[in-house]
Amino acid sequence: MTEPYRPFGAAHVRRRARGVRRWVAAAVGGLALTAGLLATAPQASAAGLTQVTGFGSNPGSLSMYTYAPSDLPADAPLVVALHGCTQSASDYYAHSGWPKFADSYGFALVFPQTSSANNANSCFNWFQPGDSARGQGEALSIKQMVDKAVEQYGSDTGRVYITGLSAGAGMTANLLAAYPDVFAGGSIDSGLPASCATSTSAAYTCMYSPPDRTPAQWGDLVRSAAPAGTTSWPRVAIWQGTADTTVAPANAAELRDQWTNVWGTGQTPSRTESLSGGTTLSVYDDSAGTPAVEVYSVSGMAHGLAVDPGTGAEQCGTTGTYYLDTICSSYHTARFWGLDGAGGDNGNPGSLPAPTGLAVSGTTDTTASVKWNAVDGAASYTVYRDGSKVGTTASSPYTDTGLAIGTTYAYTVAAVDSAGAAGPASASVSATTTGYTPTCFTASNYQHTVAGRAHQSGGYTYANGSDQAMGLWNTLTTHTLKETAPGYYVIADAGCSA
């Protein structure tokens, strides 16, 4: 296998190296790094996207596309979004949901695009140091796109963020490590730890069975990629489906270890919440109590980007190959970065402390009521359901309406000061609406995972919700699972009374 390509500026060297990479990718065949790492799509031409040229020396030979709302103010944030293999800028623009929030929250988007000239299957070369290290190849091209967009839109250089899917997520992790002085936050969707692989063969190891390094070892890979003396790090969201067989779910744990170590928070979550789409959110706060790392585990989701088509405030995107109808990841990521203007998620909380004593005061089939202790000086309170703002009230209690029967929701509350800034959120409390009828399912462990009732890890199967061990992940082992609440299953082999 050839040495990883490092751009030296000679065009004939670049062409020769790319030819070798195309041969390597073709020889690998149908594995996920190539055709499996995401859907085929046309080249960028979607309405609303604008191609930008002349953005720098472009050593990675990438294309730059942008989108911005017509009324974009000066000093608005900037989000860079990286597609997966065999995808394009227009594909990611059309499916991911990011344009919706660019319009509603007011920020610009950059969609870098690679091609088959760089990689046989149009993957960003996240596994090639010559393309993913600071100041080199594709990584430098993307940095130059940021510089161009900042100049073009007058973007706030302190609020530049990056997100990516699959191969784009692998590149996102590397760019967060290489350019912590450029990116204030990132989102790694179905991706891999920074510097996990430095060759094609190592890429497959990372994808299917990532190295079980210590948090400090993972963190050292980030620190060694960053400029010497770096002390300020990006806030990182990690998205992973539990049924992903292309990028093993273990990668999410290694990513968590990596970035929590960088932040010095430890690997025990500050709190967990249950979100829609079978999603569990684990939050890791920094020393000031602000979320630094968030891990979103989507139960039963295969390889892809989590979207939730619809017109609701929390919905976004369109389904397609590797765009999976579960939850709108772009919405939750934007809120985590503070792009929605909320005070509690973007590192600029209000002056008031988090309310204490949050408790459920009552539920019906379609409502849930919560109460809490008053906070001195609070002008109002913001109530969040599953991490999303659902209402504002002058005082406790608050009743949330229009809920689904037999469904569990997580609530938090933040006190809002006289300036309108929300402080940190309270501890979470779960409320389950009434009226759910348990249901039983008997099937093999494999069939349970395919149906979204269980998930597998390391070749073993676990019931969704309860995480009860079900044995080997195969078609021979059979269990009866009882769904006691939506998305919550327990083993009921001894008899099911549903």
Predicted confidence at residue 288, as pLDDT, reads: 81
pTM assigned to the model: 0.66
Mean model confidence pLDDT for the chain: 86
Is residue 353 included in any domain, yes or no?
Answer: no
Annotate 5-35 with b (16+ C-beta within 10 A) or e (fewer): bbbeeeeeebeebbeebbebbeebeeebbbb
Is residue 348 included in any domain, yes or no?
Answer: no
Q: What is the DSSP letter of 106?
A: I
Phi/psi at 158 (nearest 5 deg)? -85, -5
Is residue 129 included in any domain, yes or no?
Answer: yes
Query: If pLDDT is split at 50, 70 and 90, which confidence band does 4 have?
Result: very low
Q: Is 166 a catalytic residue?
A: yes
Distance CA 260, CA 268 (A): 9
Distance CA 24, CA 28 (A): 6
How is residue 141 written in tokens?
């091209």
Number of structural domains in the chain: 3
Is residue 272 included in any domain, yes or no?
Answer: yes
Is residue 288 included in any domain, yes or no?
Answer: yes
CATH number assigned to the domain comprising residue 389: 2.60.40.10
CATH number assigned to the domain comprising residue 71: 3.40.50.1820
Q: Give the residue from 426, 451, 439 showing the smallest Cα distance to 371.
A: 426
Query: If pLDDT is split at 50, 70 and 90, which confidence band does 7 have?
Result: very low
Q: Are residues 428 and 479 in the same domain?
A: no
Write down the catalytic residue from 166, 190, 299, 369: 166
pLDDT digits (tens, 9 = 90+) for 114-132: 998 999 888 999 999 999 9
Predicted confidence at residue 282, as pLDDT, reads: 95
Q: Are residues 206 and 226 in the same domain?
A: yes
Is residue 400 included in any domain, yes or no?
Answer: yes
Question: In DSSP terms, which residues pair with 164 in a beta bridge?
Answer: 82, 188
Is residue 177 included in any domain, yes or no?
Answer: yes
Q: Are residues 323 and 376 in the same domain?
A: no
The boundaries of the domain holding residue 478 are 439-491
How is residue 64 written in tokens?
């730059």
Is residue 351 included in any domain, yes or no?
Answer: no
Distance CA 150, CA 455 (A): 43
Query: If pLDDT is split at 50, 70 and 90, which confidence band does 53 have?
Result: very high
Residue at token pair 């706030």 = 156
pLDDT digits (tens, 9 = 90+) for 431-442: 888 887 788 999
Q: Are residues 320 and 398 in the same domain?
A: no
Segment 87-99 mean pLDDT: 95
pLDDT digits (tens, 9 = 90+) for 442-451: 999 999 998 9
Segment 172-189 mean pLDDT: 97
Predicted confidence at residue 365, as pLDDT, reads: 86
Q: Are residues 368 and 284 in the same domain?
A: no
